[in-house]
Amino acid sequence: MKVAINGFGTIGKRVADAISKQPDMEVIGVSKTRPNYEALIAIKKKYKLYVPRDKIRAFEDHGIEVSGAIEELISRADIVIDATPAGVGARNKDLYIKLGKPAIFQGGERSEVADISFNAMSNYEKALGKRYVRVVSCNTTGLLRIISVLEETFGVRSVFATIIRRGADPKEIKKGPINAITLDPPHIPSHHAIDVQRVLPHIPILTVALAVPTTLMHVHVVRIELSKEATVKDIIEVIEKAPRILLIEAEKHSIKSTAELIEWARDLGRSRYDIPELVIWRDTISITNGRKLTLVQGIHQESIVIPENVDAIRAILKIVTKARDSMRITDENLGLKRWW
């Protein structure tokens, strides 16, 4: 299947690399609007670069080879991944409709942009054959993974999560805070709870979010009330078997922070130190009153949604009809859960 990546930034460049590793899809081109270092990287990685028609000359003046206008890229594709900045995707939708192309949008877009908000573990089958799918944000993806896995075995009665958000991505120089803990947003629930319910409407959930001066990862403190009683051992057994969730031992491995986690990924030689898995600190898993589970989890915001974008392609185009099958292909080819 021919995939166009519209927007080659933090998410778009990772999705492009992930698709290039899959056996059943190929990247036919990527787009940029500014002739900066990311455009040079696209060329170096042998992606065909497409830009707005009125900017072709500017790119060529910078010595950057352009394969054509963005409309030409979209018209050649079977499907589009829109990874442009929040709000731009919705404006691009008219073009996708005009050229008759299905598209995948990102979590920064309003949910109305798509027919369905998507997480592979939670509602893959509901996205089969849909025209427009929105992969939910990084934080929502992390919450949905743990909720879906626990729901299958124990049932989930309610969820409360405190989300400690990174202030900016590593490349962002104009975002913050740089010396504050900010209510982000300054109300409860934060949009994450609403977004979880767009995918799993029956889950009662409340979230509160704070932003802190770090770029590496988000951290969540999650409290889940289960429908059935469970022990810590039961929870660990289920999480160990689940795809896309890693259990990390804070004490034993001395990984008690996002900094050490990222260093681990760097030492392992993971591309861009990405951690597309949800990370749960095993030591934090605790049960009170038989049903109240508490745990702490880490989200690598730049990469956690990448496998979901790959699965969304298979769901829309009905290449694979079962979530587990698509996730297995994606994860094997990305080398997920291979840490030792």
Ligand X SMILES: NC(=O)c1ccc[n+]([C@@H]2O[C@H](COP(=O)([O-])OP(=O)(O)OC[C@H]3O[C@@H](n4cnc5c(N)ncnc54)[C@H](OP(=O)(O)O)[C@@H]3O)[C@@H](O)[C@H]2O)c1
Which CB atom, from 8 or from 154, has the smaller least distance to ligand X?
8
Output 86 or 188, the one with its CB closest to ligand X: 86
Residues 72-101 that bind ligand X (CB under 6 A): 83-86, 88
Is 230 or 316 the residue whose CB approaches ligand X more closely?
Answer: 316
Q: Which of 2, 6, 75 is nearest to 42 (CA)?
A: 6
Minimal distance, residue 245 CB to ligand X, in Å: 18
Q: Cβ 129 to ligand X, closest distance in Å? A: 24
Given 301, 309, 326, 330, the residue binding ligand X (CB under 6 A): 301
Q: How far is the CB of 109 from ligand X (least distance, A)?
A: 6
Residue 92 C-beta: closest distance to ligand X, Å? 6
For residue 308, give both structure tokens.
């979901």
Under DSSP, is residue 322 helix (H, G, I), strand (E, B) or coil? coil
Is 209 in contact with 190 (CB distance < 8 Å)?
A: yes
**Within 6-65, which residues bind ligand X (CB under 6 A)?**
6-12, 31-34, 38
| Residue 228 neighbours by CB under 8 Å, 6+ apart | 153, 154, 155, 291
Residue numbers 150-169 binding ligand X by CB under 6 A: 169
Residues 6+ apart with CB under 8 A from 300: 138, 216, 217, 262, 265, 274, 275, 276, 279
Give the separation between CA 184 and CA 319, rounded to whole angstroms: 39
Q: How many residues does the chain have?
A: 340
Query: Which residue's entry shows tokens 């770090």?
Result: 214
Q: Coil, strand, or helix at residue 295?
A: strand
* Min CB(207)–ligand X separation in Å: 16
**Nearest distance from residue 71's CB to ligand X, in Å?**
11
Q: What are the tokens at 273? A: 């130190």
> Which residues inside 172-231 make contact with ligand X, applying CB under 6 A?
none
Residue 202 φ/ψ, nearest 5 degrees: -85, -5
Of 30 and 320, nearer to ligand X (C-beta) is 30
Phi and psi, residue 217, nearest 5°? -155, 165
| Interface map 97-136 toward ligand X (x if CB under 6 A) | ---------xxxx---------------------------
Of 9 and 185, CB closest to ligand X? 9
- Which sequence positions are flagged as catalytic? 138
- Whole-number Å distance between alpha carbons of 217 and 311: 23
CB 6 within 8 A of CB 73: yes
Contacting residue, 138, 146, 219, 280, with ligand X by CB under 6 A: 138
Question: What's the closest the beta carbon of residue 14 comes to ligand X, in angstroms?
Answer: 8
Minimum CB distance to ligand X smaller for 39 or for 285: 39
Residue number, nearest CB to ligand X: 9
**3-class secondary-structure state, position 165:** strand
Rg of the Cα atoms in the chain = 20
How many residues touch ligand X under the rule CB under 6 A: the total is 27
Q: Is 308 helix (H, G, I), strand (E, B) or coil?
A: helix
For 182, other C-beta atoms within 10 Å of its C-beta total 15
**CA atoms of 291 and 286, how far apart (whole Å):** 10
Of 305, 306, 310, 329, the one binding ligand X by CB under 6 A = 305
Residues in 249-288 that interact with ligand X by CB under 6 A: none
The residue among 182 and 284 lying less far from ligand X, judged by its C-beta, is 182
Footprint on this chain of ligand X (rule: CB under 6 A): 6-12, 31-34, 38, 83-86, 88, 106-109, 137-138, 169, 301-302, 305
